[in-house]
Structure 1
C-alpha cells in the first residue's frame, strides 16, 4: 500500500536537513591566521583590510597574529624569539583548537613555518598559503633601496653572520650568501635549522610536521625586486658557491634530499606553484580572490603543478631557463 506523507511532515524534514547541513558546514569550517611581513603590523590599515576581505570572501574567520609591537620587532627581534612568542599565542587560541589555515606574507612565512615545524602541542595547520616568502633564503637584506641603503646593505652583509647582527637584525636569520655557505651553516641562527640544512643536526620531526600539511600554496611575484632571487618564494635558489644560475625548486638539494618534506608533499599532489605578474606583495582584489580565497575555502585545484603556461619560470625549469 502506498504511503502518503503530509506536507507539514515533508517541510519539517527539509528544515531538519537544512539545519543539519548548516551545522556540519559551520563545525568543519577552518579559521585562518595571517602573519604579516617585515616592517608591518596587524593594526596597519592594509593588514586590517586584507584580513577582513579574506574573511568576507572565504566566509571563514581570520585573525592577524602580532609579534611584540609589530613593526619594530619584525626588524629587530630574532626570528627564533618571534616564533616562540607566536607559538604560545596560537596554543592559547581556543578558536584554532580543531585546526586552522595560514596566510603568510614575506618574512611572515618563516614565522609560519617555525610554528608548523617547532611548536609542540599546537593545533594542526591544514593549508599554508605563502605569498612571497624567502623560504630558501635571500642574498640581500630585504627592503633596502637608495645609495645610502646600498652602502648599509653591503656593510651588513660583510658582518651578517656576526653574533651581534644575528641577535639584533631579524632578516639576518635568513640571509644566505652563496659564496659563504660555511659561515651561513655555522653562524646563521634561523634558516639553516628551519630548512634542515645542518648535516649533523637534521630533525625528522620538522620534516614530519611540514609534510603533514594537507595543502601548500607557494606564490611567487614575477616582478619581485625585494627577494633575491624571486624564486626563493618557490624554494628555488642559487647553487652553493655561485650567484648564477638560479636553481628551480625541484633541482635544489633541499628538494631532492627531501630535508623538510617538500618533495613528499609535491609527490602527493599537495603543492601548488603559482605566480602573480606584479611586484612583491602587490595584491589587488582580483588576485586575492583568484590566488588565496579558493585555498581558504577548499575549492583550489589539487593538481601537482599549477602555474601559468606562458610563464618563464616553472618548478621544473632547467637552470639555464631562468
Structure 2
C-alpha cells in the first residue's frame, strides 16, 4: 500500500533538491561606518532576498562600525574571506552586493567585495558583483568642500599624511585614497588599492586578473549627483590622469583598462560589464531601479540577462539608503521613506 506514495515523495525531494542547488545566495558588505545589525542594512538585505528569491547574508567584520574605520582593508578582506570560506551555504558560488555610506571617504563595502574576488585564496566562486557607488579607481579629495582657501588647506594637510605608515595602518579609508598629482607616494604608500588594481609595476599578479575576469556579471552603479566620491566616475573605473586633477578620463581611456591590468577590458568586451547611471545623489536610488538593476543579477538566470551596456535612469522617486537607515533606526520619524527629487 505504500508504493503509490513513492513517486510524489521522490518528486518532492527532487523539487527541493533542484531549488536548493539552483538558488545562488548573496552577501551584503556594509559601507564605511555601517554594520550588519543596523536596521537599514538588515531590511535592505531582507528586501533583496524577498524580491530575488535568493538567500542573503550580511557579513560582519570585526566589531562593525568602529573597525570599518580603524582596521586596514587588507585585514578586513582577510576576515571576510575566512568567513565566506566557512559558510557552507556559499560553497557552490555566491553573488556580492557592495554598499557605500555617505561619509567623507566613500564606499568601503565595494573595496572589500573586490578583495574577496581577487585575494580570497580557496574561497567559493563569486558569480555576480553588484557595486553601488564604489571608489574602484580611488577617491581623490575631500567631498562637499569646494575651492575655498580652508578647503584647499585641509586637502593639503590630508595629502601630507594620508600615505604615512601610521595612517595607512589605522585609517581604513586611507587605503583607497589616490592623489593623482602624487602617484609615486600613492604607489609606494597606499597599502590596498594599488594591489587591488594591479598598478604596481613589475609586481602585477595574473591571478588577480584571472579571478576578476571570471565574473559572470559586473554591475557598476554610478550616481549622477554624487558629491561623496571624487570623481563620481570612479564608480565606473573612470579617474583623473596621472599628474592632474582634470579632465576625468572614462574607464576605457585609463591604463587600467587599455592594458587590462585586472581583466576589466576582458569583461567589458565579453559584454559582462553593465554601466548603470541613476540620477540621484550618493546612494539615492528608487525601489524601481533596485528591482530593475540589482535584483535580476541575484536570480538564478542572471547570466542570461540582456541589458544595454550603458544604462541611464531618470526615475523621479529616489530612495536614500542612508536616510533609510536613519528611518529604520527611528531617527527620521515623520520623514518620507521615498521622496521626490526635483
Q: Is the 8 A contact 2:28 2:58 kept in 1?
A: yes
Q: CA deviation at 1:17?
A: 6.2
Aligned equivalent of 2:233: 231
Alpha-carbon distance, 1:111 to partner: 0.2
Q: Per the alignment, in what secondary structure is the counterpart of residue 283 of structure 1? A: coil
Kindly report the root-mean-square deviation, in angstroms, between the aligned alpha carbons of the 2 structures: 2.6
1:163 aligns with 2:165: yes
Q: How many residues matched?
A: 301
Please list, as runs of the form range in 1=range in 2, the aligned pairs for 1:1-322 lying within 5 A after superposition: 20-21=14-15, 23-105=17-99, 106-141=107-142, 150=151, 154-298=156-300, 301-303=305-307, 305-308=309-312
TM-score (normalised: structure 1): 0.86
Report the Cα offset of residue 15 of structure 1. Answer: 9.1
Query: Residue 142 of structure 1 contacts residue 171 of structure 1 at CA under 8 Å; is this kept in 2?
Result: no
Q: Whole-Å Cα distance in 2 between the matches of residues 226 and 79 of structure 1? A: 19
Tell me the residue number matched to 1:6.
none
SS of corresponding position for 1:24: helix
> Structure 2 CA distance, aligned partners of 1:163 and 1:244?
28
What secondary structure sits across from 1:128 in the alignment?
strand
Alpha-carbon offset, residue 24 of structure 1: 1.8
**Structure 1 residue 165 displacement after superposition:** 1.1
> Shift of residue 308 of structure 1?
2.3
Asked if the contact 2:22–2:300 (Cα under 8 Å) also holds between the matched residues in 1, the reply is no
Return 5+ residue gaps in structure 1 as ranges: 1-11, 311-322
In the alignment, the residues of structure 1 paired with residue 200 and residue 247 of structure 2 have an alpha-carbon distance, to the nearest angstrom, of 23
Deviation at 1:77, TM superposition (A): 0.7
Aligned-partner Cα distance in 1 for 2:145–2:24: 37
Distance 1:161 1:52 in 2: 38
Considering only CA atoms, is the larger Rg found in Structure 1 or Structure 2? 1
CA distance in 2, matches of 1:295, 1:14: 33
Using a 3 Å threshold, how does the CA distance of structure 1 residues 283 and 49 change in structure 2: closer, same or farther?
A: farther
Deviating runs (4+, > 6 A) in structure 1?
12-19, 142-145
